[in-house]
Amino acid sequence: MLMIEGLSVSFGPRRALHSISLEVHSGEVVALIGPNGAGKSSLIRAVSGVVPVEGGRVRTNDTDLLAIPPLRRARHLAVVPQAVSMPPAFTVWETALLGRTPYLNFLGQVSAGDEQVARAALAKVDALPLVARRVGELSGGEQQRVLLARALTQSTPILLLDEPTSNLDLHYQVGFMEMVCSLAKSDNLAVLVALHDLNLAARYADRVALLVDGSLAAVGTPPEVLTAGHISEAYRLPVEVVPHPFAGTPLVLPGD
């Protein structure tokens, strides 16, 4: 379980996050949504310890994740960034093994157990056939699956994803989110994912957190948060929300 308690972040004179409190339970997918500049990526980076916080805590059980060294923190949470951050010369196998870094001895030696964990993670995301290929040779969808495998190789109970579908076509967006949801349930992961696409959030998230100007405007199930009132006010655009004809989830459409 991930517990974010009163988290505040500033970049110079600008306050990026205003006392954010949010829980993500094990086995649950929570989608962070909001307009550009709302603070989605800032929250992911603050929770992972990449940017300093002004106040608040990030906890799992009794462990304050921001008060422990990065290598220890990396045993509790893993981050899936956008694929553009991947080193193109690395092979898929080398990239997946990077996830074992928090567990290596002082010589940095990879054990047979580490390799077994990496192989299992690659299998979970259907990337085992890619192990010998270089990351720069892969499609965007394949790269994103490899990044997910690297995160799974960390063997953490918490998974953070920063807009992982933003550079993918529709086929890979759907496949990736279905994979994440399946892993959350099968591996009992607490998943916090920042998403641009409101309809992906509606379809795949258990709960949705709407950020506006660095503050939480609404938190709840997709039908509770993805209303015409909430979305129109947050995005400053008239919208209509209707039931999806097949899934029954909210479907957000531009209004007149």
pLDDT of residue 85: 63
Single pTM value for the model: 0.94
What are 195's two structure tokens?
């998403």
The mean pLDDT value of the chain amounts to 92
CA distances from 33 to 79, 205, 218 (A): 17, 11, 10
The interaxial angle of helices 140-153 and 170-186, nearest 10 deg, is 20
In the chain, which stretches have pLDDT less than 70?
83-85, 107
> Could you give all domains of the chain from N- to C-terminal order, each with its CATH number?
2-76+157-254 (3.40.50.300), 87-155 (no CATH)
Q: What is the dihedral of CA 4, 10, 16, 20, to 10 degrees?
A: 20
For position 83, what pLDDT does the model report? 62
